Structure 1
Amino acid sequence: MKEPQSFVPETTTGGPTAPSAYRKPNGEKPSVAGDPIILPPGIDSPTFKKFTQQLADIVGRDNVTVISKDEELYQESYLDPSKAHDMFHILEKQYFVSSAVVAPRDVPDVQAIMRLCNEFEVPVWPFSIGRNVGYGGAGPRVPGSLGMDMGRNMNKILNVDVEGAYALVEPGVTFFDLHDYLVKNNLRDRLWIDVPDLGGGSVLGNTCERGVGYTPYGDHWMMHCGMEVVLPDGSLIRTGMGALPDPNADPNLPPHEQTANSCWQLFNYGFGPYNDGIFTQSSLGVITKMGIWLMTNPGGYQSYLITIPSDKELHQAIEIIRPLRVGMVLQNVPTLRHVLMDAAVMGDKTTYSDSKKPLTDSEIDAIAKKLNLGRWNFYGALYGPEPIREVMWQVVKASFGNIPGAKFYFPEEMPDNKVLQIRNNTLQGIPSVDELKWVDWLPNGGHLFFSPIAKVTGDDALAQYELTRRRSEEFGFDFIGTFVVGMREMHHIVCIVYDRKDADSRRRAHKLISTLVDDAAKLGWGEYRTHLALMDQIAETYNFNDNAQMKLNEKIKNALDPKGILAPGKNGIWPSTYDKKAWRVPI
């Protein structure tokens, strides 16, 4: 059983036999020149060198990088993401770090890498781009894992079907890439993509982490259709209609190059059990291709801003939003943002205050007045021909008009409001990276996302806001957050901004989010996605009927990945070859 510490031989308890080699404690510097910062668990230096040489034989030496010195962990920018560690680290920079990074060139490379990792029993952590900032970036859950950079070489848009309104993409295709493809091929007047706040991430990666955007196609997983997946043993499958061969496919081509059934990106389910879901937020397969539905141009568009003057109207605003959203009057995924989120996009904390402490209500009100914003700010959009938009707008305006002091704006009425101009693009599927500016609220800004799910009710919104703001200020941080409203639930995204070069700031941020996880669970709120350091803690809160869901996940994991090679520990699911208690992250 793989353990993170102590020089003791491997043992197992009912699982497959693990390597018999001795392992280095996590964080100990290898003494052999050329060794990585941390070796994979159970792997000694000579074995590691043999392993990486065979990796280079598969993909070419230019596609293998051993992470052998701290200088290789220099990347701290979203635009230049690290491929080896968590750029926005809350533990030491060297903790969630890969031993080496490999960049497969094609599907056969991925299959060969998985088979090699099984042979050497080296854990492998796939990622698409490495921009999953706030949740761990490219860092592996198990230090010393082999990072597998799926996006460096596998970055093609394989197909855009205009009539079917879908695209087929590889892991390295970003939202910018897909949008630019539509523009360059004169398809933007017919097809739109949905984008999250930042456009540099992988379409495939964001979708399979169940990320969201803000057009009517904002639930990205709902809009995926058909995947190609390499399983932990190196075998290749296509899901849904992709499992039915194309009668015109060339049988002489390797499977990954064969044309697919014409309905692969049109009907998700195929026949029999629906497998796609087990490959989201999971450690059961490496996704090499994915279909994504595109939105047809709605024939008209208008974004808007509604400012809500104070905290006391938050309850009323959410109660207004719920029936409009369920009834599809609010057509897109709207957001209700705290003023400090918008303020942080327009300037750092020193722009507004000299205080080192969390801002007071009077200081926050002064910021809102200065920026001509409310304490809460609702961003939405109208889609369709002008008569439809006009009717929808009258309903929206009349409903929110019941809030005392609410004000209504279109982007052309506030040309200097940077956030409204950004949202005007985002809500019509035009990607940017401008909103990452809020990370600079503090010097050397890093961030964690705390993201509980709740009902769309005023009571829940007030309770979550009161709890998260009180806890944030208790640990010395300003509350920066937004309610993202789905069809029948809210993602409450709390942005914990800290100084990543200050150990105390990192420690307080880690303690804050850990405390919030426990607080939320006691009130029935669970997180939908999290940072590497919190995966075990959150997984343990989903414990109905003596952890029945986790037991099922572990059974599937051990059946498909008996050696525990692929992303061990991801989202709290540990193979039988690991002692999950020993790998718990210290707080």
Structure 2
Amino acid sequence: MAACTELLGADAVVSDPVLMREFRDPYSHASWTQHEPGLVVCPTTVEQVQELVRLAGRFDTPTWTISQGRNNGYGGPAPRVPGSMVISLRGMNRILELDEELAYAVVEPGVRFFDLYEEVQRRGLKLWPSIPDLGWGSIIGNAMDHGVGFTPLGDHPARSCGMEVVLADGSLVRTGMGAMPDNPTWALRKHGFGPHHEGMLMQSNLGIVTKMGCWLVPQPEYYVSAEVTVPRDEDISTLIDTVRPLLLDGTIQNSPIAYNVTLIAGAFSGVPRSHWYTGDGAVDDAAIEKMKAETGAGAWLMRFALFGYEDVVSEQLARCTEAFARIEGSRLTHRGFRGDEVVHQLTALERPRPADGPEGAVDRLRQQSDTTQAGIPSLDLLDNLSWDDHGVGGHLDYSPVTELDGARVLEQTRWLREECAGEGLDYAASLMIFPRACINIVSLWFNTADEAGTRQAYEFTGTLIERGAERGFGAYRTHLEHMDRVAATYDWNDSALARFNTRIKDALDPQGILSPGRSGIWGSRRAPQG
């Protein structure tokens, strides 16, 4: 601690247990201590990060790096190894480059989606950043964890370009074209000469990313935010098979999300669970029918967006309308905006306020979708995560991947509903849809003040990971408590990938000081015994 204080100053070193509560898992029970840091340090320069890594090596101290640490359903800023030195990069928050002509930015890890959006607006640039549903996270941190946004550049790992990385010995490396001194295409061309390393730095612990390029969307002439509802639970199969060709041929350019009515009733209706159901176990069929009737959301509601020249978007919308109309009982609604007017229209104070209670649930979702798909960040969804009467709602997410095939997605959703019901839990789902695959994000809601209910959610997540793997469903992301468990399911050829990861970790970080255990990667020296 003394060495860190000498390096950073007392204000940038946090050791008070009360102040360090900000850096624990926000949804764990207050009595749990298995993921609490031993020290938090807050560098503001690359050179300070380099020296902190060298200090960690000198004192053989495990570290845990966070950019903003806002991925709350997956553990937030908490370290995998208790007592680790958390390196918080929130203070490294400069936007280093922002270019309208080539539509890119270069940012530090503390730059939030809010920050980039606000700088674009301040400069009056005709650019849209891609953002997730909550805008408080780090642009770099989200990409490092395979995050997703909802403009045409919503694949955040894919839209990243060029990284600066501190390695475990404190040395500095730049990837791609950045390996050539002062090369102006560092953030423009992903591939330089030789191997491409950026994917190895994502969901890993091989280095600390201190700069990254990211691409932005040129402001479109016209934008349509739309949703389609289907009335029956089994209609998700037809909905998936209908949207797939529209994604593959580029008619729909962003990543749609399909929400089931339980998710909408829980996150957007503004009423507690007791409004829908007061019996034992998971909500029953009668409660689900009540949700459909009062919210108007159908069994599933899928949002999507269209972008481009107005006449092209009009044709795209016509094609979508024709395709979805073939699903019996479906209903498509949409709103159109001129690209140069959308920010004013969607952020205006006079924007209509949705009705209170379940009647306004779909309108609240629409307003959140309209802004998110236009690259306008908010925290609206955060206000809607308390499903009980206590106002202390937490959630964990189980996020398995499956192929974008209607029958397979229906099989997965039915299996998950049965598993949740068997545990007495509700199946609240958001399906993130891509041209060839789908991620079924199951949100397990609980009251964080109830230790038994909190423990049930944490343990059941682990159960789903193992049972899902038996059915061929791999999780794409997970809570830090379950990283080893997920890594163990990727076990083809006698866990060849895990051995490969260990060999790389041992070569780059033989002491295992950089975020040991992230994504189940420990290195030989710190691997758990037994």
Q: Same fold (TM over 0.5)?
A: yes
Q: Tell me which residue corresponds to 2:506.
A: 558
1:581 offset after TM fit, Å? 3.6
Deviation at 1:537, TM superposition (A): 0.7
Farther-moved stretch of structure 1 (356-365 vs 272-281): 356-365
1:85 equivalent to 2:24? Answer yes
> Hey, what's the Cα distance between the residues in 2 that align with 1:131 and 1:165?
26
Match of 2:11 among 54, 62, 68: 62
1:290-329 equivalences in 2 (<5 Å): 290-329=212-251
Partner amino acid for 2:224? Q
Moved more, 86-95 or 332-341: 86-95
Q: Is the 8 A contact 1:449 1:496 kept in 2?
A: yes
- Hey, what does 2:104 align to over in structure 1? 166
Which of 332, 348, 351 is residue 254 of structure 2 equivalent to? 332
Could you list the per-position Cα deviations for residues 9-36 of structure 1 after superposition, in whole angstroms to 9, with x for gaps in the alignment?
xxxxxxxxxxxxxxxxxxxxxxxxxxxx
Q: For the Cα contact (< 8 Å) 2:431–2:440, is it kept in 1?
A: yes
Name 1:489's counterpart in structure 2.
437
Q: Which secondary structure does the structure 2 equivalent of 1:470 belong to?
A: helix
Matches within 5 A, 1:118-137: 118-137=57-76
Cα contact 2:152–2:253 (8 A) shared by 1: yes
Deviation readout 1:325-371 (Å, 9 max, x if unpaired): 11111111111111122222222323434445321112111111111
Matching residue of 1:22: none
Partner of 2:170: 234
Post-superposition offset of 1:67: 4.1
Alignment map for 1:246-325 (pairs within 5 Å): 246=182, 261-325=183-247
2:276 counterpart residue number: 352
Alpha-carbon offset, residue 237 of structure 1: 0.7
- Between the aligned partners of 1:120 and 1:508, the Cα distance in structure 2 is 38
Amino acid at match of 1:345: F
| CA offset digits 1:127-169 (Å, max 9, x no partner) | 0112111111110001100001011x20111110111100001
Contact 1:67 1:98 in 2 (8 A): no
* 2-structure distance, mates of 1:536, 1:92: 23
Aligned to 1:214: 150
The structure 1 segments of at least 4 consecutive aligned residues displaced by more than 4 Å after TM superposition are: 411-416
SS in 1 for 2:474: coil
Separation in structure 2 between the aligned mates of residue 389 and residue 100 of structure 1, nearest angstrom = 52
Whole-angstrom distance in 2 between the partners of 1:339 and 1:490? 18
Deviation at 1:461, TM superposition (A): 1.0
* Contact kept? 1:335, 1:484, Cα under 8 Å: yes
CA distance in 1, matches of 2:512, 2:381: 38
Structure 2 residue 109 is the aligned partner of structure 1 residue 185: no
Aligned match of 2:295 in 358, 371, 386? 371
Displacement of 1:396 in angstroms is 0.6
One-letter code aligned to 1:439: L
Q: CA deviation at 1:91?
A: 8.8
Distance 1:390 1:411, change over 3 A: closer
Equivalent residue for 1:522, pick from 470, 476, 491? 470
Q: Does residue 472 of structure 2 align to residue 534 of structure 1?
A: no
Decide which structure has the larger Cα Rg and report it.
1
Corresponding position: 1:423 with 2:369: yes
1:91-131 CA-partner distances (Å, limit 9, x unpaired): 95321010010001200100000000000000010001121
* Secondary structure of the structure 2 residue equivalent to 1:221: helix
Instruction: State the alpha-carbon separation in 2 of the partners of residues 228 and 147 from structure 1.
Output: 20
Separation in structure 2 between the aligned mates of residue 313 and residue 278 of structure 1, nearest angstrom: 38
Partner of residue 342, structure 2:
none
Cα separation, 1, equivalents of 2:324 and 2:116: 35
CA distance in 1, matches of 2:248, 2:332: 22
Higher mean C-alpha deviation, range 421-430 or range 356-365: 356-365
Check conservation: 2:269, 2:295, Cα contact below 8 A.
Answer: no
Q: Distance in 1 between matches of 2:383 and 2:419?
A: 24
Residues 452 and 492 in structure 1, CA contact (< 8 A), matched pair in contact too: yes
1:455 maps to amino acid: E
Paired amino acid for 1:192: W
How far, CA to CA, are the matches of 2:225 and 2:404 in structure 1? 22
AA partner of residue 236 (structure 1): L
| C-alpha separation in 1, matches of 2:377 and 2:527 | 42
CA shift for structure 1 position 437: 3.1
What is the CA–CA distance in structure 2 between the aligned matches of 1:435 and 1:134, rounded to whole Å?
A: 13
SS in 2 for 1:333: coil
Correspondence 1:389 to 2:313? yes
How many aligned residue pairs are there? 504
1:231 Cα deviation (Å)?
0.3
- RMSD (Å) for aligned C-alpha atoms: 1.6
Q: Is the contact between residue 404 and residue 437 of structure 2 (CA under 8 Å) also seen in structure 1?
A: yes
Residue 2 of structure 2 aligns with an amino acid whose one-letter code is Q
SS, match of residue 72 in structure 2: coil
Q: For 1:429-508, list aligned pairs within 5 A.
A: 429-442=375-388, 443=390, 444-508=392-456
TM-score, scaled relative to structure 1: 0.84
| Partner residue, 1:143 | 82
Q: Kindly tell me: are residues 180 and 351 of structure 1, through their superposed partners in 2, closer, same or farther at Cα, counting changes over 3 Å? A: farther
Instruction: Judge which range, 410-419 or 54-63, deviates more.
Output: 410-419
Mapped pair 1:205 → 2:127: no
Looking at structure 2, the residues matched to 164 and 540 of structure 1 have their Cα atoms a distance apart, in angstroms, of 42
Measure, in 2, the Cα distance between the counterparts of 1:433 and 1:535: 27
For each residue in 1:492-531, what CA deviation from the matched residue of structure 2 results, as whole angstroms up to 9, or x when unmatched?
1111111112111112112221111111111111111110
**Cα-to-partner distance string for 1:415-436 (whole Å, 9 max, x where unaligned):** 6511111101111111111112
1:102-121 equivalences in 2 (<5 Å): 102-121=41-60
Deviation (angstroms), 1:474: 1.7
Residues in 2 aligned to 1:355 and 1:191: alpha-carbon distance in whole angstroms: 50
* Length-normalised TM-score, structure 2: 0.92
Matched, 1:245 2:181: yes
Kindly indicate whether the alpha-carbon contact (under 8 Å) linking 2:94 and 2:108 is maintained by their aligned counterparts in 1: yes
Identify the range of structure 1 (127-136 vs 355-364) with the bigger mean alpha-carbon deviation: 355-364
Measured after TM superposition, the shift of residue 438 of structure 1 is: 3.6
Deviations along 1:27-68, one digit per CA (max 9) or x if unpaired, are: xxxxxxxxxxxxxxxxxxxxxxxxx00000111111001143
Secondary structure of the residue aligned to 2:106 is strand
Query: What is the alpha-carbon distance in structure 2 between the residues aligned to residue 117 and residue 485 of structure 1?
Result: 41
C-alpha distance in structure 2 between counterparts of 1:90 and 1:215, whole Å: 36
Identical-residue share of aligned pairs (%) = 38
Structure 1 counterpart SS, 2:421 = helix
